[in-house]
Amino acid sequence: MIVAIKSAVLHILDSNNRLPMLSEHEMDVSDGMINTYLTGHIEKVYDDASHRNAEFRSNSGLKFHINQYSSGNEDFVTLSRNIGERVFEGLINTQDGGVCDIAVCDLIINERSVIGILKLNDKVGFTHQVLKDDTGITNTIINHYSILPTQTQKVTEYAFIDTEDLTIRYKGAKYPIDGEKVDLFAEILLECDYEISSREAVNTVTKTAKKITAENGGDTMETVAKIKECVIENIEQKIPFKTADIADHIFDGRPVMRDEFKSKMEQSAVPDEIEVNKYVTKKMTSNIKLVTDTGIELSFPAEYYTNSKYVDIINNEDGTISISINNIGELINK
């Protein structure tokens, strides 16, 4: 991913004191520290599988302002202040909106023009303070009430709007407003309609398939292994993950279970095709891990579970299970 920051503005939103401190000027993005900080956070979340794809509603106010900015009828600071005001209006109506900063960035990401919005939640930390008087220097520790997320932390609420086609990728959080849980970014800032994220979709597929398998006396581990195989294959081939293909693969030869799965998918919010990448979920692309009631732990690639050349699961007549690990060339003590 290639990220270039053209402009950036930071707004401080303190809902506890009901006071927004909206900047009247851009930050100096040529400053290496500022550029590295913002770029690092953007790169962490832009391709994350937790983001949702969304589209502006026709009456979205933010959509209007972005079009105004793109056509040269509004400057970037004005656009960013509108964004800050919208987020603040939502926060002051929550039970505990707290204090946060909003970084609004004009970006080039992979040769596309993008408006990026990062909600940087402030936290209380500790720092040193040097006190000096006539008797000398005293070093002490004080609370610092405005610590921004470090570069190793992930921003949990953000939005990226492509200014050319106005498509959105965002991740939000729900806040209690007037007795209801409201997605601050989707409902108040963006005013958009969205799909569930790739991670949510894959997790829903997995949970539904496991439940149907268990209710029909099947092997849930085999089901999970087959789903992992499909996810990995789709990631390698860079093609969408199709729920119809999953149904045929998991429940091959079991038409009743297959049809029930397809019916459940049609009733869910899972799209027919799910875009997957290496970030979709670590669980899906990691090894299968088994723990026996005797304390033995096993970890192996998902495709081995259904291949007796490597792993053979044997159901014994007395109700116990045996696991045969085959074709081992060498044992390594780790």
Regarding beta strands 3-14 and 99-109, do their DSSP bridges make them parallel or antiparallel, or are they unpaired? antiparallel
Asked whether 124 and 142 are in contact (CB, 8 A), the reply is: no
Distance CA 86, CA 88 (A): 5
Q: Does the predicted model carry a pTM greater than 0.85?
A: no
**pLDDT at residue 81 above 90?**
yes
Q: What pairing do the DSSP bridges indicate for beta strands 174-177 and 180-183?
A: antiparallel
Q: Give the integer Cα–Cα distance in Å for 98 and 121.
A: 8
Instruction: For 61-90, give one letter per residue: b (16+ CB within 10 A) or e.
Output: ebbebbeebeeeebebbebbbbbbbbbbeb
Question: What percent of the chain has a predicted confidence (pLDDT) above 90?
Answer: 43
DSSP letter string over 172-216?
A: --EEEETTEEEEIIIIIII-EEEPPPHHHHHHHHHHHHHHHHHHT
Average pLDDT, the chain: 86
Residue 88 reports pLDDT greater than 90: yes
Q: Count Cα neighbours of 320 within 13 Å in the Cβ-side half-sphere.
A: 6
State the pLDDT confidence band at 85, using cuts at 50, 70 and 90. Answer: very high
pLDDT higher than threshold 60 for residue 325? yes
**pLDDT confidence tier of residue 249, bands split at 50, 70 and 90:** confident
Confidence at residue 43, expressed as pLDDT on a 0 to 100 scale: 94
Q: Which amino acid is at 76?
A: F
Under a CB-based contact definition with an 8 Å cutoff, are residues 27 and 10 in contact?
yes
**C-alpha span between 198 and 204 (Å, rounded):** 10
The mean per-residue pLDDT over the stretch 81-98 comes to 87
Name the band, by pLDDT with cuts 50, 70 and 90, for residue 145: low
Report the range of poorest mean pLDDT among 102-106, 147-151, 252-256.
147-151
pLDDT, position 278: 57
Contacts of 287 (CB under 8 A, 6+ apart): 299, 300, 301, 302
Q: What would the DSSP string read from start to end of 225-278?
A: HHHHHHHHHHHHHT--EEHHHHHHHHTTT-HHHHHHHHHHHHHSS--SEE---T
Q: Does the pLDDT value for residue 72 go beyond 70?
A: yes
- In terms of C-beta density within 10 A (0-12 exposed, 13-18 middle, 19 or more buried), how is residue 309 classed? exposed
Asked if the model's pLDDT at residue 96 lies above 80, the reply is no
Are the CB atoms for 323 and 304 separated by under 8 Å? no
- Predicted local confidence at residue 25, as pLDDT: 96
Out of 26-35, 44-53, 91-100, 180-189, which region has the weakest mean confidence (pLDDT)? 91-100
Q: What's the CA gap between 294 and 8, in Å, rounded?
A: 57
Q: Average the pLDDT over 134-147 and give the result.
A: 82
pLDDT higher than 90, residue 27: yes
Task: Return the pLDDT at 239.
Answer: 77
* Average pLDDT of span 296-324: 78
Orientation of helix 198-215 relative to helix 255-267, angle to 10°:
140
Phi, then psi, of 123 in degrees rounded to 5:
-135, 165
The predicted-structure confidence for 180-232, as pLDDT tens digits, reads as follows 889 999 999 999 999 888 888 888 888 999 999 999 988 887 888 888 878 77
